[in-house]
Structure 1
Protein backbone atom coordinates (compact mmCIF):
# COMPACT_ATOMS: atom_id res chain seq x y z
CA UNK A 1 0.00 0.00 0.00
CA UNK A 2 1.49 3.40 -0.95
CA UNK A 3 2.30 6.02 1.66
CA UNK A 4 -0.58 8.41 2.42
CA UNK A 5 0.03 11.95 3.65
CA UNK A 6 -1.54 12.73 7.03
CA UNK A 7 -1.94 16.49 6.62
CA UNK A 8 -1.91 18.40 9.92
CA UNK A 9 -3.93 21.44 8.84
CA UNK A 10 -4.70 23.63 5.86
CA UNK A 11 -2.03 26.29 5.45
CA UNK A 12 -3.48 28.36 2.59
CA UNK A 13 -5.08 28.25 -0.85
CA UNK A 14 -2.94 29.75 -3.64
CA UNK A 15 -4.69 32.14 -6.03
CA UNK A 16 -3.38 33.65 -9.26
CA UNK A 17 -4.65 37.25 -9.56
CA UNK A 18 -4.28 39.85 -12.27
CA UNK A 19 -3.56 42.86 -10.03
CA UNK A 20 -2.04 42.20 -6.61
CA UNK A 21 -2.46 45.71 -5.17
CA UNK A 22 -6.12 45.90 -6.23
CA UNK A 23 -6.76 42.41 -4.83
CA UNK A 24 -5.27 43.30 -1.44
CA UNK A 25 -7.35 46.48 -1.27
CA UNK A 26 -10.51 44.59 -2.21
CA UNK A 27 -10.01 41.89 0.45
CA UNK A 28 -9.24 44.51 3.10
CA UNK A 29 -12.25 46.69 2.27
CA UNK A 30 -14.84 43.93 1.83
CA UNK A 31 -13.70 41.36 4.41
CA UNK A 32 -11.35 43.15 6.81
CA UNK A 33 -8.46 41.21 5.26
CA UNK A 34 -5.27 41.26 7.33
CA UNK A 35 -2.11 41.69 5.24
CA UNK A 36 0.64 39.42 6.59
CA UNK A 37 3.72 39.35 4.34
CA UNK A 38 5.02 40.77 1.08
CA UNK A 39 6.71 38.11 -1.10
CA UNK A 40 8.31 39.66 -4.19
CA UNK A 41 10.07 37.40 -6.65
CA UNK A 42 11.60 37.30 -10.14
CA UNK A 43 8.61 35.61 -11.82
CA UNK A 44 5.71 36.94 -9.78
CA UNK A 45 4.83 39.26 -6.92
CA UNK A 46 3.07 37.39 -4.12
CA UNK A 47 1.76 38.08 -0.63
CA UNK A 48 0.09 36.38 2.30
CA UNK A 49 -3.22 37.82 3.48
CA UNK A 50 -5.66 36.37 6.02
CA UNK A 51 -9.41 36.42 5.39
CA UNK A 52 -11.97 34.86 7.72
CA UNK A 53 -9.33 32.90 9.64
CA UNK A 54 -7.79 31.37 6.50
CA UNK A 55 -4.53 32.61 4.98
CA UNK A 56 -4.37 33.05 1.22
CA UNK A 57 -1.27 33.41 -0.93
CA UNK A 58 -1.95 35.68 -3.88
CA UNK A 59 0.32 35.50 -6.93
CA UNK A 60 0.49 38.21 -9.59
CA UNK A 61 2.51 36.94 -12.58
CA UNK A 62 4.92 39.42 -14.13
CA UNK A 63 2.99 39.04 -17.39
CA UNK A 64 -0.64 37.93 -17.12
CA UNK A 65 -0.96 37.10 -20.82
CA UNK A 66 -0.12 33.44 -20.30
CA UNK A 67 -3.01 33.15 -17.81
CA UNK A 68 -5.48 35.13 -19.90
CA UNK A 69 -7.39 32.11 -21.22
CA UNK A 70 -8.74 31.17 -17.78
CA UNK A 71 -8.16 34.45 -15.93
CA UNK A 72 -7.75 34.64 -12.12
CA UNK A 73 -7.97 31.19 -10.61
CA UNK A 74 -7.06 28.93 -7.71
CA UNK A 75 -3.68 27.41 -8.49
CA UNK A 76 -3.93 24.98 -5.58
CA UNK A 77 -3.73 24.60 -1.83
CA UNK A 78 -0.98 24.18 0.76
CA UNK A 79 -1.17 21.78 3.70
CA UNK A 80 1.09 21.54 6.73
CA UNK A 81 2.61 18.06 6.67
CA UNK A 82 5.62 15.95 7.51
CA UNK A 83 7.90 16.59 4.54
CA UNK A 84 9.50 13.14 4.43
CA UNK A 85 6.06 11.56 4.35
CA UNK A 86 4.84 14.06 1.71
CA UNK A 87 7.82 13.35 -0.55
CA UNK A 88 7.43 9.59 -0.18
CA UNK A 89 3.70 9.65 -0.95
CA UNK A 90 4.21 11.99 -3.89
CA UNK A 91 6.81 9.67 -5.42
CA UNK A 92 4.80 6.51 -4.78
CA UNK A 93 1.66 8.01 -6.37
CA UNK A 94 3.71 9.12 -9.40
CA UNK A 95 2.78 12.75 -8.81
CA UNK A 96 5.24 15.11 -10.46
CA UNK A 97 6.87 17.89 -8.41
CA UNK A 98 6.65 21.13 -10.35
CA UNK A 99 8.52 23.45 -7.95
CA UNK A 100 10.76 22.41 -5.08
CA UNK A 101 12.28 24.91 -2.62
CA UNK A 102 13.38 22.17 -0.18
CA UNK A 103 11.29 23.28 2.82
CA UNK A 104 8.18 23.22 0.62
CA UNK A 105 7.18 21.87 -2.78
CA UNK A 106 4.33 22.18 -5.31
CA UNK A 107 2.92 19.30 -7.34
CA UNK A 108 2.06 19.43 -11.03
CA UNK A 109 -1.73 19.90 -11.36
CA UNK A 110 -1.71 17.64 -14.43
CA UNK A 111 -0.76 14.71 -12.17
CA UNK A 112 -2.85 15.65 -9.10
CA UNK A 113 -6.45 16.19 -10.23
CA UNK A 114 -6.03 19.77 -11.43
CA UNK A 115 -4.56 21.06 -8.15
CA UNK A 116 -1.02 22.16 -7.34
CA UNK A 117 -0.80 20.60 -3.88
CA UNK A 118 1.82 22.33 -1.77
CA UNK A 119 3.32 20.90 1.42
CA UNK A 120 5.22 22.72 4.15
CA UNK A 121 6.67 21.35 7.36
CA UNK A 122 6.21 24.55 9.36
CA UNK A 123 3.29 26.90 9.91
CA UNK A 124 2.17 30.41 9.02
CA UNK A 125 -0.25 30.53 11.98
CA UNK A 126 0.35 31.83 15.47
CA UNK A 127 2.68 34.45 16.97
CA UNK A 128 5.86 32.47 16.30
CA UNK A 129 5.37 31.95 12.54
CA UNK A 130 8.80 32.89 11.22
CA UNK A 131 7.83 33.95 7.69
CA UNK A 132 5.22 36.49 8.80
CA UNK A 133 6.50 40.08 8.69
CA UNK A 134 3.50 42.38 9.29
CA UNK A 135 0.48 40.86 11.07
CA UNK A 136 0.24 37.39 12.57
CA UNK A 137 -2.97 35.35 12.31
CA UNK A 138 -5.99 36.89 14.02
CA UNK A 139 -8.29 35.44 16.68
CA UNK A 140 -11.79 34.20 15.75
CA UNK A 141 -13.36 37.19 17.53
CA UNK A 142 -11.66 39.53 15.07
CA UNK A 143 -13.24 37.73 12.11
CA UNK A 144 -16.64 37.44 13.75
CA UNK A 145 -16.67 41.24 14.08
CA UNK A 146 -16.06 41.83 10.37
CA UNK A 147 -19.03 42.88 8.26
CA UNK A 148 -19.72 39.48 6.73
CA UNK A 149 -19.66 37.90 10.21
CA UNK A 150 -17.18 35.06 9.73
CA UNK A 151 -17.69 31.88 11.74
CA UNK A 152 -14.63 30.04 10.47
CA UNK A 153 -13.16 28.36 7.43
CA UNK A 154 -15.07 25.31 6.21
CA UNK A 155 -13.21 24.02 3.16
CA UNK A 156 -13.19 24.19 -0.61
CA UNK A 157 -14.91 22.84 -3.70
CA UNK A 158 -12.97 20.93 -6.33
CA UNK A 159 -14.31 20.40 -9.86
CA UNK A 160 -13.24 17.10 -11.39
CA UNK A 161 -13.87 15.11 -14.56
CA UNK A 162 -14.02 11.63 -12.99
CA UNK A 163 -15.36 11.96 -9.45
CA UNK A 164 -14.85 8.34 -8.42
CA UNK A 165 -11.24 8.34 -9.60
CA UNK A 166 -10.61 11.70 -7.90
CA UNK A 167 -12.10 10.47 -4.63
CA UNK A 168 -10.01 7.28 -4.70
CA UNK A 169 -6.87 9.26 -5.50
CA UNK A 170 -7.37 11.72 -2.64
CA UNK A 171 -8.19 8.95 -0.17
CA UNK A 172 -4.96 7.19 -1.08
CA UNK A 173 -2.72 10.26 -1.52
CA UNK A 174 -3.77 12.66 1.27
CA UNK A 175 -5.74 10.35 3.61
CA UNK A 176 -9.06 11.92 2.61
CA UNK A 177 -12.08 10.48 4.43
CA UNK A 178 -15.47 10.26 2.65
CA UNK A 179 -18.22 12.04 4.60
CA UNK A 180 -21.18 12.39 2.21
CA UNK A 181 -22.53 12.13 -1.32
CA UNK A 182 -25.08 14.58 -2.69
CA UNK A 183 -26.71 15.99 -5.80
CA UNK A 184 -26.05 19.60 -6.83
CA UNK A 185 -28.90 20.25 -9.32
CA UNK A 186 -28.21 23.98 -9.49
CA UNK A 187 -24.88 23.17 -11.12
CA UNK A 188 -26.05 20.11 -13.04
CA UNK A 189 -23.63 18.13 -10.88
CA UNK A 190 -23.14 15.49 -8.24
CA UNK A 191 -20.86 15.79 -5.24
CA UNK A 192 -18.72 13.72 -2.89
CA UNK A 193 -17.59 15.31 0.37
CA UNK A 194 -14.17 14.39 1.76
CA UNK A 195 -12.41 15.44 4.95
CA UNK A 196 -8.74 16.36 4.49
CA UNK A 197 -7.26 17.54 7.79
CA UNK A 198 -9.44 20.57 8.72
CA UNK A 199 -10.72 21.07 5.16
CA UNK A 200 -14.00 19.76 3.81
CA UNK A 201 -13.20 19.10 0.18
CA UNK A 202 -16.34 18.84 -1.93
CA UNK A 203 -15.67 17.15 -5.24
CA UNK A 204 -18.18 18.17 -7.91
CA UNK A 205 -18.56 16.71 -11.39
CA UNK A 206 -21.02 17.53 -14.18
CA UNK A 207 -23.82 15.03 -14.80
CA UNK A 208 -25.95 17.19 -17.11
CA UNK A 209 -25.68 20.32 -19.16
CA UNK A 210 -25.37 23.19 -16.72
CA UNK A 211 -23.15 25.83 -15.18
CA UNK A 212 -20.38 23.48 -14.01
CA UNK A 213 -20.02 21.73 -17.35
CA UNK A 214 -19.85 25.06 -19.16
CA UNK A 215 -17.22 26.36 -16.72
CA UNK A 216 -15.09 23.26 -17.04
CA UNK A 217 -15.08 23.50 -20.83
CA UNK A 218 -12.93 26.59 -20.29
CA UNK A 219 -11.10 25.99 -17.01
CA UNK A 220 -10.83 22.21 -16.76
CA UNK A 221 -10.63 20.65 -13.31
CA UNK A 222 -9.30 22.22 -10.14
CA UNK A 223 -10.36 24.22 -7.07
CA UNK A 224 -13.55 26.18 -7.72
CA UNK A 225 -14.17 28.05 -4.45
CA UNK A 226 -13.30 28.55 -0.79
CA UNK A 227 -16.16 28.04 1.69
CA UNK A 228 -16.64 29.95 4.96
CA UNK A 229 -19.23 29.73 7.69
CA UNK A 230 -21.01 32.91 8.75
CA UNK A 231 -23.01 33.75 11.87
CA UNK A 232 -26.04 35.10 9.95
CA UNK A 233 -26.41 34.30 6.26
CA UNK A 234 -28.99 37.01 5.63
CA UNK A 235 -26.73 39.60 7.24
CA UNK A 236 -23.78 38.36 5.16
CA UNK A 237 -25.83 38.77 1.99
CA UNK A 238 -26.82 42.29 3.00
CA UNK A 239 -23.17 43.17 3.70
CA UNK A 240 -21.98 41.90 0.32
CA UNK A 241 -24.78 43.67 -1.52
CA UNK A 242 -24.01 46.82 0.44
CA UNK A 243 -20.48 46.62 -0.97
CA UNK A 244 -21.94 46.63 -4.47
CA UNK A 245 -21.46 42.90 -5.09
CA UNK A 246 -24.09 40.81 -6.84
CA UNK A 247 -24.93 37.75 -4.74
CA UNK A 248 -25.69 34.43 -6.41
CA UNK A 249 -26.32 30.85 -5.30
CA UNK A 250 -23.40 28.86 -3.94
CA UNK A 251 -22.57 25.21 -4.56
CA UNK A 252 -24.58 23.62 -1.74
CA UNK A 253 -28.28 24.37 -1.20
CA UNK A 254 -28.64 27.59 0.82
CA UNK A 255 -25.02 28.70 0.32
CA UNK A 256 -24.31 32.05 -1.34
CA UNK A 257 -21.39 33.68 -3.07
CA UNK A 258 -20.51 37.01 -4.61
CA UNK A 259 -20.64 36.84 -8.37
CA UNK A 260 -17.01 36.17 -9.43
CA UNK A 261 -17.34 38.96 -12.02
CA UNK A 262 -17.52 41.34 -9.03
CA UNK A 263 -15.02 39.38 -6.95
CA UNK A 264 -11.62 39.58 -8.68
CA UNK A 265 -12.56 36.55 -10.79
CA UNK A 266 -12.48 33.93 -8.01
CA UNK A 267 -15.08 32.58 -5.60
CA UNK A 268 -15.70 32.80 -1.87
CA UNK A 269 -18.80 30.95 -0.68
CA UNK A 270 -20.71 31.45 2.57
CA UNK A 271 -22.96 29.06 4.47
CA UNK A 272 -24.90 29.36 7.69
CA UNK A 273 -22.78 28.16 10.62
Structure 2
Protein backbone atom coordinates (compact mmCIF):
# COMPACT_ATOMS: atom_id res chain seq x y z
CA UNK A 1 0.00 0.00 0.00
CA UNK A 2 1.32 3.47 -0.90
CA UNK A 3 2.26 5.63 2.09
CA UNK A 4 1.65 9.37 2.45
CA UNK A 5 5.37 9.94 1.84
CA UNK A 6 5.22 7.92 -1.36
CA UNK A 7 2.11 9.79 -2.50
CA UNK A 8 3.93 13.12 -2.09
CA UNK A 9 6.02 12.29 -5.16
CA UNK A 10 4.73 13.82 -8.37
CA UNK A 11 5.65 13.45 -12.02
CA UNK A 12 7.55 16.49 -13.27
CA UNK A 13 6.18 16.80 -16.79
CA UNK A 14 7.58 19.43 -19.16
CA UNK A 15 4.85 19.64 -21.78
CA UNK A 16 2.07 17.77 -23.54
CA UNK A 17 3.65 15.90 -26.44
CA UNK A 18 0.40 14.72 -27.99
CA UNK A 19 -3.16 13.60 -27.43
CA UNK A 20 -3.94 9.90 -28.06
CA UNK A 21 -7.13 8.75 -29.74
CA UNK A 22 -8.65 5.55 -31.11
CA UNK A 23 -10.37 5.94 -34.47
CA UNK A 24 -11.99 3.44 -36.82
CA UNK A 25 -10.44 4.22 -40.21
CA UNK A 26 -7.00 5.78 -40.38
CA UNK A 27 -7.07 6.89 -44.02
CA UNK A 28 -10.51 8.47 -43.70
CA UNK A 29 -9.55 10.24 -40.47
CA UNK A 30 -6.30 11.63 -41.84
CA UNK A 31 -8.11 12.85 -44.96
CA UNK A 32 -10.77 14.53 -42.80
CA UNK A 33 -8.27 16.33 -40.58
CA UNK A 34 -6.25 17.43 -43.60
CA UNK A 35 -9.30 18.81 -45.37
CA UNK A 36 -10.94 20.61 -42.45
CA UNK A 37 -7.89 21.72 -40.44
CA UNK A 38 -4.95 21.61 -42.83
CA UNK A 39 -3.38 18.89 -40.66
CA UNK A 40 0.16 17.73 -41.39
CA UNK A 41 0.83 13.98 -41.42
CA UNK A 42 3.97 13.89 -39.31
CA UNK A 43 4.82 10.19 -39.22
CA UNK A 44 3.22 6.83 -40.02
CA UNK A 45 3.56 4.19 -37.29
CA UNK A 46 2.23 0.80 -38.49
CA UNK A 47 2.43 -1.95 -35.86
CA UNK A 48 1.23 -5.52 -35.40
CA UNK A 49 -1.73 -4.51 -33.21
CA UNK A 50 -2.82 -1.39 -35.08
CA UNK A 51 -1.88 1.25 -37.59
CA UNK A 52 -1.06 4.59 -36.01
CA UNK A 53 0.15 7.99 -37.08
CA UNK A 54 0.88 11.46 -35.75
CA UNK A 55 -0.95 14.46 -37.17
CA UNK A 56 -0.21 18.09 -36.39
CA UNK A 57 -2.76 20.91 -36.20
CA UNK A 58 -1.81 24.32 -34.81
CA UNK A 59 1.03 23.10 -32.59
CA UNK A 60 -1.21 20.32 -31.27
CA UNK A 61 -0.12 16.78 -32.12
CA UNK A 62 -2.57 13.88 -32.02
CA UNK A 63 -1.62 10.24 -32.29
CA UNK A 64 -4.37 8.28 -34.02
CA UNK A 65 -4.64 4.55 -33.35
CA UNK A 66 -6.67 2.42 -35.75
CA UNK A 67 -7.01 -1.25 -34.69
CA UNK A 68 -6.70 -3.63 -37.63
CA UNK A 69 -10.01 -5.24 -36.60
CA UNK A 70 -12.48 -2.84 -35.01
CA UNK A 71 -14.73 -5.55 -33.57
CA UNK A 72 -13.35 -5.23 -30.03
CA UNK A 73 -13.77 -1.43 -30.11
CA UNK A 74 -17.03 -1.16 -32.02
CA UNK A 75 -19.41 -0.97 -29.04
CA UNK A 76 -17.40 1.89 -27.50
CA UNK A 77 -16.45 3.48 -30.81
CA UNK A 78 -13.83 6.17 -31.52
CA UNK A 79 -12.68 7.95 -28.36
CA UNK A 80 -9.78 9.67 -26.63
CA UNK A 81 -7.46 7.05 -25.20
CA UNK A 82 -5.24 9.43 -23.26
CA UNK A 83 -2.45 11.97 -23.48
CA UNK A 84 1.35 11.84 -23.63
CA UNK A 85 3.52 14.12 -21.50
CA UNK A 86 7.23 14.71 -21.84
CA UNK A 87 8.86 13.54 -18.62
CA UNK A 88 11.78 11.48 -17.36
CA UNK A 89 10.51 7.91 -17.74
CA UNK A 90 12.66 6.50 -14.91
CA UNK A 91 11.19 9.09 -12.52
CA UNK A 92 7.74 8.33 -13.90
CA UNK A 93 8.10 4.65 -13.05
CA UNK A 94 8.95 5.56 -9.44
CA UNK A 95 5.93 7.86 -9.08
CA UNK A 96 3.61 5.39 -10.77
CA UNK A 97 4.70 2.66 -8.36
CA UNK A 98 4.41 5.00 -5.37
CA UNK A 99 0.80 5.79 -6.28
CA UNK A 100 -0.12 2.17 -6.86
CA UNK A 101 -0.98 2.89 -10.49
CA UNK A 102 -0.65 0.00 -12.94
CA UNK A 103 1.17 0.23 -16.25
CA UNK A 104 -0.86 -1.21 -19.09
CA UNK A 105 1.93 -0.82 -21.67
CA UNK A 106 5.67 -0.42 -21.23
CA UNK A 107 7.84 -0.25 -24.36
CA UNK A 108 10.97 0.89 -22.55
CA UNK A 109 11.20 4.41 -23.95
CA UNK A 110 7.57 5.15 -23.04
CA UNK A 111 4.95 3.89 -20.60
CA UNK A 112 1.13 4.04 -20.49
CA UNK A 113 -0.82 3.97 -17.24
CA UNK A 114 -3.92 1.84 -16.81
CA UNK A 115 -6.95 4.07 -17.43
CA UNK A 116 -8.93 2.30 -14.70
CA UNK A 117 -6.45 3.71 -12.18
CA UNK A 118 -6.47 7.25 -13.63
CA UNK A 119 -10.13 8.28 -14.01
CA UNK A 120 -10.41 6.81 -17.47
CA UNK A 121 -7.21 8.31 -18.88
CA UNK A 122 -4.20 6.32 -20.13
CA UNK A 123 -1.40 8.75 -19.29
CA UNK A 124 1.63 8.17 -21.50
CA UNK A 125 5.10 9.45 -20.66
CA UNK A 126 8.14 9.79 -22.91
CA UNK A 127 11.37 11.65 -22.26
CA UNK A 128 11.74 13.07 -25.78
CA UNK A 129 10.11 16.04 -27.47
CA UNK A 130 7.93 15.91 -30.57
CA UNK A 131 7.61 19.57 -31.47
CA UNK A 132 11.18 20.68 -32.11
CA UNK A 133 12.54 18.06 -34.49
CA UNK A 134 12.73 17.35 -38.20
CA UNK A 135 10.32 14.83 -39.71
CA UNK A 136 11.16 12.87 -42.89
CA UNK A 137 7.56 12.97 -44.16
CA UNK A 138 7.69 16.79 -43.93
CA UNK A 139 11.27 17.15 -45.17
CA UNK A 140 11.97 19.20 -42.06
CA UNK A 141 10.14 20.60 -39.04
CA UNK A 142 6.43 21.10 -38.58
CA UNK A 143 4.88 24.36 -39.70
CA UNK A 144 5.84 27.10 -37.23
CA UNK A 145 3.51 28.85 -34.77
CA UNK A 146 3.40 32.00 -36.92
CA UNK A 147 1.83 30.07 -39.80
CA UNK A 148 -1.03 28.73 -37.69
CA UNK A 149 -1.59 32.05 -35.92
CA UNK A 150 -1.29 34.46 -38.85
CA UNK A 151 -1.88 32.52 -42.07
CA UNK A 152 -4.24 29.68 -41.26
CA UNK A 153 -7.92 30.75 -41.25
CA UNK A 154 -8.47 29.31 -37.77
CA UNK A 155 -5.80 31.51 -36.16
CA UNK A 156 -4.60 28.72 -33.89
CA UNK A 157 -2.19 29.50 -31.05
CA UNK A 158 -1.61 26.06 -29.54
CA UNK A 159 -3.08 23.66 -27.03
CA UNK A 160 -5.17 25.38 -24.38
CA UNK A 161 -5.89 22.10 -22.66
CA UNK A 162 -8.23 19.15 -22.55
CA UNK A 163 -11.31 18.17 -20.59
CA UNK A 164 -11.91 15.04 -18.54
CA UNK A 165 -15.42 14.00 -17.56
CA UNK A 166 -15.47 12.46 -14.08
CA UNK A 167 -17.94 11.22 -11.49
CA UNK A 168 -16.05 12.37 -8.37
CA UNK A 169 -14.45 15.71 -9.18
CA UNK A 170 -12.84 16.15 -5.75
CA UNK A 171 -11.12 12.76 -5.93
CA UNK A 172 -9.99 13.35 -9.53
CA UNK A 173 -8.59 16.78 -8.64
CA UNK A 174 -6.71 15.41 -5.64
CA UNK A 175 -5.28 12.57 -7.73
CA UNK A 176 -4.01 14.84 -10.52
CA UNK A 177 -2.48 17.27 -8.06
CA UNK A 178 -0.62 14.43 -6.37
CA UNK A 179 0.20 12.34 -9.44
CA UNK A 180 0.97 15.03 -12.05
CA UNK A 181 1.86 17.87 -9.71
CA UNK A 182 -1.07 19.79 -11.19
CA UNK A 183 -1.92 23.11 -9.56
CA UNK A 184 -5.47 24.23 -8.87
CA UNK A 185 -6.33 27.15 -11.15
CA UNK A 186 -10.09 27.73 -10.86
CA UNK A 187 -13.49 26.35 -10.01
CA UNK A 188 -16.52 27.38 -12.02
CA UNK A 189 -20.13 26.45 -12.67
CA UNK A 190 -21.00 25.28 -16.16
CA UNK A 191 -24.79 25.83 -16.21
CA UNK A 192 -25.09 25.51 -19.99
CA UNK A 193 -24.04 21.86 -19.71
CA UNK A 194 -25.47 21.23 -16.22
CA UNK A 195 -22.02 20.68 -14.77
CA UNK A 196 -19.31 22.21 -12.67
CA UNK A 197 -15.65 22.44 -13.51
CA UNK A 198 -12.28 22.44 -11.78
CA UNK A 199 -9.31 23.72 -13.76
CA UNK A 200 -5.81 22.39 -13.08
CA UNK A 201 -2.56 23.61 -14.61
CA UNK A 202 -0.29 20.69 -15.47
CA UNK A 203 2.91 21.40 -17.41
CA UNK A 204 1.95 23.66 -20.34
CA UNK A 205 -1.79 22.89 -20.55
CA UNK A 206 -4.94 23.18 -18.48
CA UNK A 207 -6.86 20.07 -17.50
CA UNK A 208 -10.51 20.91 -16.98
CA UNK A 209 -12.39 18.35 -14.94
CA UNK A 210 -16.15 18.43 -15.51
CA UNK A 211 -18.80 16.61 -13.53
CA UNK A 212 -22.58 16.71 -13.96
CA UNK A 213 -24.89 18.46 -11.51
CA UNK A 214 -28.03 17.44 -13.40
CA UNK A 215 -29.23 16.04 -16.67
CA UNK A 216 -27.23 17.43 -19.59
CA UNK A 217 -24.49 16.66 -22.09
CA UNK A 218 -21.86 15.81 -19.46
CA UNK A 219 -24.17 13.38 -17.68
CA UNK A 220 -25.08 11.80 -21.01
CA UNK A 221 -21.40 11.65 -22.00
CA UNK A 222 -20.57 9.75 -18.81
CA UNK A 223 -23.42 7.33 -19.41
CA UNK A 224 -22.15 6.68 -22.94
CA UNK A 225 -18.39 6.59 -22.43
CA UNK A 226 -17.63 6.53 -18.71
CA UNK A 227 -14.86 8.64 -17.21
CA UNK A 228 -12.09 9.88 -19.45
CA UNK A 229 -11.01 12.61 -21.83
CA UNK A 230 -13.97 14.33 -23.47
CA UNK A 231 -12.35 16.95 -25.72
CA UNK A 232 -9.19 18.66 -26.93
CA UNK A 233 -9.32 22.44 -26.48
CA UNK A 234 -7.49 24.51 -29.10
CA UNK A 235 -6.56 28.11 -28.34
CA UNK A 236 -7.35 30.69 -31.03
CA UNK A 237 -6.48 34.35 -31.30
CA UNK A 238 -9.96 35.38 -32.49
CA UNK A 239 -12.96 33.17 -31.78
CA UNK A 240 -15.13 34.77 -34.47
CA UNK A 241 -12.42 34.32 -37.10
CA UNK A 242 -12.27 30.63 -36.20
CA UNK A 243 -16.06 30.34 -36.29
CA UNK A 244 -16.17 31.85 -39.80
CA UNK A 245 -13.81 29.17 -41.08
CA UNK A 246 -16.11 26.35 -40.02
CA UNK A 247 -19.21 28.13 -41.26
CA UNK A 248 -17.54 28.48 -44.66
CA UNK A 249 -16.79 24.75 -44.56
CA UNK A 250 -20.44 23.96 -43.82
CA UNK A 251 -19.76 22.54 -40.34
CA UNK A 252 -22.64 22.68 -37.83
CA UNK A 253 -20.98 23.90 -34.65
CA UNK A 254 -22.25 23.44 -31.09
CA UNK A 255 -21.51 25.41 -27.92
CA UNK A 256 -18.37 24.33 -26.08
CA UNK A 257 -18.44 23.24 -22.47
CA UNK A 258 -17.03 26.57 -21.24
CA UNK A 259 -18.49 30.06 -21.82
CA UNK A 260 -17.45 31.63 -25.13
CA UNK A 261 -16.13 28.39 -26.60
CA UNK A 262 -17.58 26.42 -29.49
CA UNK A 263 -17.04 22.84 -30.57
CA UNK A 264 -16.93 20.65 -33.62
CA UNK A 265 -19.04 17.74 -32.31
CA UNK A 266 -17.60 14.26 -32.28
CA UNK A 267 -20.10 12.92 -34.78
CA UNK A 268 -18.78 15.38 -37.39
CA UNK A 269 -15.13 14.88 -36.48
CA UNK A 270 -14.27 11.19 -36.78
CA UNK A 271 -15.60 10.58 -33.27
CA UNK A 272 -13.41 13.19 -31.53
CA UNK A 273 -14.72 16.42 -30.02
CA UNK A 274 -12.57 19.52 -30.69
CA UNK A 275 -13.26 22.74 -28.77
CA UNK A 276 -12.01 26.22 -29.66
CA UNK A 277 -11.52 29.04 -27.18
CA UNK A 278 -9.68 32.36 -26.99
Report the TM-score, using the length of structure 1 for normalisation.
0.96
Aligned to 1:81: 87
Instruction: Check whether the contact 2:232–2:273 (CA below 8 A) recurs between aligned residues.
Output: yes
Instruction: Check whether the contact 1:245–1:263 (CA below 8 A) recurs between aligned residues.
Output: no
Aligned to 1:43: 49
**Aligned: 1:123 with 2:129:** yes
- One of 138, 141, 155 as aligned partner of 2:146: 141
Question: Aligned partners of 2:35, 2:131: CA distance in 1, in Å?
Answer: 22
Aligned to 1:256: 262
Instruction: Check whether the contact 1:245–1:259 (CA below 8 A) recurs between aligned residues.
Output: no
Aligned to 1:96: 102
Query: Please, what is the CA RMSD of the aligned residues?
Result: 1.1
Question: Aligned partners of 1:6, 1:53: CA distance in 2, in Å?
Answer: 21
Aligned to 1:168: 174
Displacement of 1:137: 2.7
Question: Aligned partners of 1:156, 1:226: CA distance in 2, in Å?
Answer: 5
Aligned to 2:77: 71
Displacement of 1:64: 1.3
**Aligned: 1:205 with 2:211:** yes
Displacement of 1:237: 1.2
Unmatched runs of 5 consecutive residues or more in structure 2: none
Displacement of 1:267: 0.9
Q: Deviations over 1:154-188 (max 9, x none)?
A: 11011111000000000000100000000111111
Question: Aligned partners of 1:259, 1:222: CA distance in 2, in Å?
Answer: 17
134-143 or 38-47: bigger deviation: 134-143
Aligned to 2:221, what secondary structure does the other structure show?
helix
Aligned to 1:254, what secondary structure does the other structure show?
coil
Question: Aligned partners of 2:97, 2:106: CA distance in 1, in Å?
Answer: 13
**Aligned: 1:30 with 2:30:** no
Aligned to 2:164: 158
Report the TM-score, using the length of structure 2 for normalisation.
0.94
Aligned to 1:261, what secondary structure does the other structure show?
helix
Q: Deviations over 1:78-134 (max 9, x none)?
A: 000011110001001111100100000111100111000000011112135xxx431
